[in-house]
């Protein structure tokens, strides 16, 4: 936790790209987590009384501190996750953008709003928003700064305290982020980080929190959703994906080849919104496929803080084993490897080559399952309609990428069953449009982050209605006569009080 507790067993944090132990962090227990909640509840009472102006000031100071300290943050992210510097930069920018967005927009979204009363003049109605209390955030390893801090920022702006469990493999970025928030003026105990296992800290969060913000696999999300439902607490789930890219007949192919590698291999494919399936229109397939494959072959894979590296390692040797198993299964069942398809043990045991497959049979596990690694497959289709049908043929619905002329792109986008659609990009522009909601259809999630709802979900609503002059139920008038009066007023008001 950010603040000292009793002695705990420790977890070694390993740089997956080098295999080195870079830090040792306490592995906290359920009891520690409950203590963190108790402190957060006390701190939250004071925090909710702060003005929007005060919160905005802290958020904007934090925005600048994040940018000023970006080199240190990127080092931490890369060292605990193994990703490239470019992927680490995405996280820093996301946190700054989110702080700025909710810093400026928070008050407008949260201040009391007048609502239409049932009887104007006789009554006035306001909608008020109050914080939920203590929000539990459970985060995954893949964007250890952004997915820990950005969702928490919205909860904090709404007056909540936050208890966060980062992934056990990657707690350091979240700890660094909270340190900067406290330097920006966030009071102690309002945002606590409790490193530890999902089965301990994660479970205690689900048992204690007033709202659950979970990002991770669909399997874990389904389980936690049931637990939250049993407690009748609200939750938001950002889950897995098997995202498709469509290359339409009128795509600008040079631009598509340049953009597609980031869409597929950004963060070594360990990105919920990265692409794992490409549907390429037959008219352009002959030109696109070899150009894309040779662009992928030119990617620079490696470790370290050098900006020139395009792709880093996977999160762990175990995850590389799983990616290898899925690729081998596809190849055994008839898939063709266009490039990659193997470990890069010369770089380290957690490295896997950026891989492009084709002829993947439906019987292969990765045909439908999320790999969460640098592995994509290509299918050639005869029409844009066929591409849309294939893209939607999945239990997931997180992100799609469409490469086409603007008109074709928008026409295709309307038919895709995903929470975001990026036209002529992979994932970044829709994600970074923080003013718009972002999340998953189908098994990719429940609720949304970003947008107005990404903040208001962390609040309870209160309808306050004040009655003036007389009661709506006048007991001095005979009831039948009163009923007639009300009916007449409703009739008269039908088109006036719309």
Of 44, 76, 142, 267, the one binding ligand NAP by CB under 6 A: 142
Q: How far is the CB of 237 from ligand NAP (least distance, A)?
A: 8
CA distances to 206, 286, 304, 355 from 417, rounded to whole Å, are: 30, 28, 38, 26
Enumerate residues 436-455 that contact ligand NAP by CB under 6 A.
Answer: 440, 445
d(CA 406, CA 428): 18
407, 276, 379, 406 alpha-carbon torsion, rounded to 10°: 10
Q: How far is the CB of 267 from ligand NAP (least distance, A)?
A: 10
Q: Find the binder of ligand NAP among 216, 269, 341, 451 (CB under 6 A).
A: 216
CA distance 209 to 284: 52
Q: Is there a contact between 356 and 293 (Cβ–Cβ < 8 Å)?
A: yes
Q: Is 397 in the site for ligand NAP (CB under 6 A)?
A: no
Which of 202, 348, 374, 451 is in the footprint of ligand NAP by CB under 6 A?
A: 202
Distance from C-alpha of 128 to C-alpha of 108, rounded to nearest angstrom: 12
Taking CB under 6 A as the criterion, the residue among 26, 140, 177, 340 binding ligand NAP is: 140
Q: Which residues pair with 267 in a beta bridge?
A: none
Cα angle 268, 269, 271; round to 5: 115
Least distance in angstroms from the C-beta of 405 to ligand NAP: 29
Residue 278 beta carbon to ligand NAP: minimum distance, rounded to whole angstroms: 18
**Distance in Å, CB of 431 to ligand NAP, minimum:** 9
* Residue among 29, 81, 220, 355 that touches ligand NAP (CB under 6 A): 220
Pattern of binders to ligand NAP over 236-265, x per CB under 6 A?
--xxxx------------------------
- For residue 201, the minimal CB distance to ligand NAP (Å) is 8
Contact residue for ligand NAP among 217, 415, 417, 432 (CB under 6 A): 217
Query: In the complex, what is the shortest distance from the CB of residue 5 to ligand NAP, in angstroms, rounded to a whole number?
Result: 18
Among the candidate windows 61-69, 201-209, 275-283, 327-335, which touches ligand NAP by CB under 6 A? Answer: 201-209
Q: Least distance to ligand NAP from the beta carbon of 265, Å? A: 15
Find the binding residues for ligand NAP in span 346-375 (CB under 6 A). Answer: 370, 372
Q: By CB under 6 A, is residue 272 in contact with ligand NAP?
A: yes
Does 90 help bind ligand NAP (rule: CB under 6 A)? no
Footprint (CB under 6 A) of ligand NAP, residues 160-189: 165, 167-168
Q: What is the DSSP letter of 352?
A: B
272 catalytic residue (yes or no): yes
Q: Judged by CB under 6 A, which of 187, 198, 437, 447 binds ligand NAP?
A: 198
Catalytic residue among 91, 208, 264, 272: 272
Separation between Cα atoms, residue 91 and residue 172, nearest integer Å: 14
Interface segment toward ligand NAP; rule CB under 6 A; list 195-203, 384-392, 401-409, 460-468: 195-203
- Angle of helix 384-392 relative to helix 406-413, nearest 10 degrees, comes to 40
Query: The tokens of 234 are what?
Result: 């609200």
Q: CA 275 → CA 70, 73, 166, 298, distances in Å?
A: 27, 26, 25, 19
Among 87, 148, 192, 215, binds ligand NAP (CB under 6 A): 215
Stretch that binds ligand NAP, among 55-63, 105-113, 121-129, 139-147 (CB under 6 A): 139-147
Q: How far apart are CA 292 and CA 338, in angstroms?
A: 10
Catalytic residue among 238, 264, 276, 370: 238
Nearest-approach distance from CB 303 to ligand NAP, in angstroms: 21
Which of 34, 197, 295, 390 is close enough to bind ligand NAP by CB under 6 A?
Answer: 197
- Mapping DSSP to helix (H, G, I), strand (E, B) and coil, where does residue 314 land? coil
Neighbours of 378 (CB within 10 A): 22
Quote the radius of gyration of the chain (alpha carbons, Å). 26
Q: Residue 94 phi/psi, 5° resolution?
A: -60, -45
Residue 370 token pair:
């999320």
Helix, strand or coil, per DSSP, at residue 270? coil
Distance between CA atoms of residues 357 and 406, nearest Å: 28
Compute the distance between CA of residue 390 and CA of residue 24 in angstroms, rounded to an integer.
Answer: 46
What would the two tokens of residue 341 be? 């398809």
User: Judged by CB under 6 A, how many residues of this single chain contact ligand NAP?
Assistant: 31
> In the beta sheet, which residues pair with residue 135?
162, 211
397 versus 409: smaller Cβ distance to ligand NAP: 397
C-alpha to C-alpha distance for 21 and 343, rounded to whole angstroms: 22
Q: Which residues bind ligand NAP (CB under 6 A)?
A: 138-142, 147, 165, 167-168, 197-199, 202-203, 206, 215-217, 220, 223-224, 238-241, 272, 370, 372, 398, 440, 445
Q: Which residues are catalytic?
A: 238, 272
């Amino acid at each position: 936790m950010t603040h000292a507790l009793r002695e705990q067993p420790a977890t070694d944090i390993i740089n997956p790209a080098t295999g080195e132990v870079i830090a040792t962090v306490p592995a906290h227990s359920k009891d520690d987590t409950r203590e963190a909640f108790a402190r957060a509840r006390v701190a939250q009472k004071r925090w909710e009384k702060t003005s929007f102006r005060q919160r905005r000031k802290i958020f904007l100071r934090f925005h600048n501190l994040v940018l000023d300290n970006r080199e240190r943050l990127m080092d931490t992210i890369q060292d605990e996750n193994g990703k490239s510097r470019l992927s680490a930069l995405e996280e820093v920018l996301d946190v700054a953008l989110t702080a700025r967005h909710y810093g400026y927009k928070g008050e407008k979204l949260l201040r009391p709003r007048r609502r239409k009363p049932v009887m104007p003049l006789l009554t006035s109605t306001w909608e008020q928003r109050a914080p939920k209390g203590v929000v539990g955030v459970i985060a995954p390893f893949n964007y250890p700064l952004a997915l820990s801090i950005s969702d928490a920022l919205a909860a904090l702006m709404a007056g909540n305290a936050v208890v966060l469990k980062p992934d056990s493999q990657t707690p350091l970025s979240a700890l660094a982020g909270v340190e900067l928030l406290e330097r920006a003026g966030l009071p102690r105990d309002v945002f606590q980080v409790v490193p530890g296992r999902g089965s301990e800290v994660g479970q205690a969060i689900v048992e204690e929190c007033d709202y659950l913000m979970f990002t991770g696999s669909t399997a874990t999300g389904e389980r936690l959703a049931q637990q939250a439902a049993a407690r009748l607490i609200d939750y938001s789930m950002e889950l897995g994906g098997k995202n498709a890219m469509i290359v339409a007949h009128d795509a600008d192919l040079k631009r598509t080849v340049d953009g597609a590698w980031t869409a597929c291999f950004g963060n070594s494919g360990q990105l919920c919104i990265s692409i794992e399936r490409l549907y390429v229109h037959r008219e352009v397939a002959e030109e696109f496929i070899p150009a894309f494959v040779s662009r992928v072959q030119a990617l620079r894979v490696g470790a370290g803080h050098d900006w020139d590296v395009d792709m880093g390692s996977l999160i762990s040797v175990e995850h590389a084993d799983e990616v290898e198993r899925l690729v081998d299964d596809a190849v055994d069942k008839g898939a063709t490897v266009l490039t990659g398809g193997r470990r890069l043990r010369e770089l380290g045991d957690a490295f896997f080559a950026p891989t492009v497959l084709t002829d993947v049979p439906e019987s292969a596990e990765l045909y439908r399952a999320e790999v969460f690694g640098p592995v994509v497959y290509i299918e050639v289709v005869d029409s844009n309609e066929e591409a849309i049908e294939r893209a939607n043929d999945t239990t997931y619905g997180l992100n799609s990428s469409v490469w086409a002329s603007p008109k074709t792109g928008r026409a295709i986008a309307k038919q895709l069953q995903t929470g975001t659609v990026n036209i002529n990009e992979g994932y970044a522009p829709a994600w970074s449009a923080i003013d718009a909601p972002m999340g998953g259809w189908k098994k990719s999630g429940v609720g949304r982050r970003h947008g107005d709802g990404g903040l208001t979900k962390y609040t309870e609503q209160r309808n306050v209605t004040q009655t003036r002059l007389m009661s709506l139920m006048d007991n001095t008038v005979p009831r039948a006569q009163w009923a007639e009066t009300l009916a007449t007023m409703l009739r008269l008001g039908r088109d006036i009080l719309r």
